[in-house]
Amino acid sequence: MSKIKRIFLVTIVISLAIGGLFFIVRQAKEVHLGTKFQDYYVSKVIDGDTIQLSNNEKVRYIGIDTPEIRKRKGPGWVYEPMPYGLEAKDFNKRLVEGKRVRLEFDVQKRDKYNRLLAYVYVDGKMVNLEMVREGYAMIYTYPPNVKYADMFLEAQREARTKKKGLWAELDKGVISSSEARKYIGHMKIVETKVYNTFISNKLLILNCRDNFKVVVFRKDFSILPKEAIRSPDTYFRHKDIRVYGVIKEYKNSPEIILHNQFQLEILD
């Protein structure tokens, strides 16, 4: 083989190798970004914390919870908006519907309903954070997706101090646990007394006056002091407490589920 042919072949091999290297690097970058950030077009806003993309994927906002618009009844759902549910949806629509958004993923990318879990950005703002800051959502941390938990807490403090959105509902006054049943589906501050507690591998329940309950699921145990989990009866029994949140009903008992440490205050 002549010297010119050898040089020509070597040049081709080197060019192919460099091209392959660039392709691998580019693919690696795309894969990396694909696990963290992606851009999409929002075709529909479902409610205050859920949207649908143009590819039909549904996205649940990480770190927040907004009042529901529908309520499960038997095997299906009925239209029954909670206070500030429609306002939260409308605010979400103004922010993202018909716009291109960027999704940032955390540790867990999908929930049990196969929805994408994401921090959603539009025009440089994080929508999740704006929903909390303007009082249309409460924080709802769910490990392992807790990257911006501190930011959400600060935004909620700000919204509550300024009595924005759903926090204005709390301004209407503290209720006793005997009144809780009248406010199923409403956000309220409830004062009551803890009679005893129950703890299992799945949850902690504070059994209170008037058959009212405060519930903390295992995933949220970290919001309570360690001694409260180690010996809940010693920590809570016979204590007067004030708790805020959406009052729900489970097995004919009104209850509030805790998602962050600021929802519960021990009064004595």
Positions annotated as catalytic residues are: 60, 68, 115
Identify the sign of the CA torsion 238, 240, 246, 248.
Answer: positive
Query: Which H or E element spans position 183?
Result: none
Residues 260 and 223: beta-carbon distance below 8 Å: yes
Q: Is 72 exposed, middle or buried (0-12, 13-18, 19+ CB in 10 A)?
A: exposed
Query: DSSP H helical segments within 35-148, as ranges?
Result: 85-96, 127-133
- Find how far residue 86's CA is from the centre of its chain: 18
Cβ atoms within 10 Å of 21's Cβ, excluding its own: 10
Cβ atoms within 10 Å of 42's Cβ, excluding its own: 22
- Per the DSSP assignment, residues forming a β-bridge with 191 are 176, 242
Cβ neighbours for 165, distance < 8 A, ≥ 6 positions apart: 84, 87, 88, 134, 135, 136, 159
Q: Which of 214, 208, 202 is nearest to 257 (CA)?
A: 214
Helix, strand, coil shares of the chain, percent, nearest 5, are 35, 35, 30
Helix/strand/coil for 128: helix
Helix/strand/coil for 261: helix
Residue 182's φ and ψ, nearest 5 degrees, are -75, -15
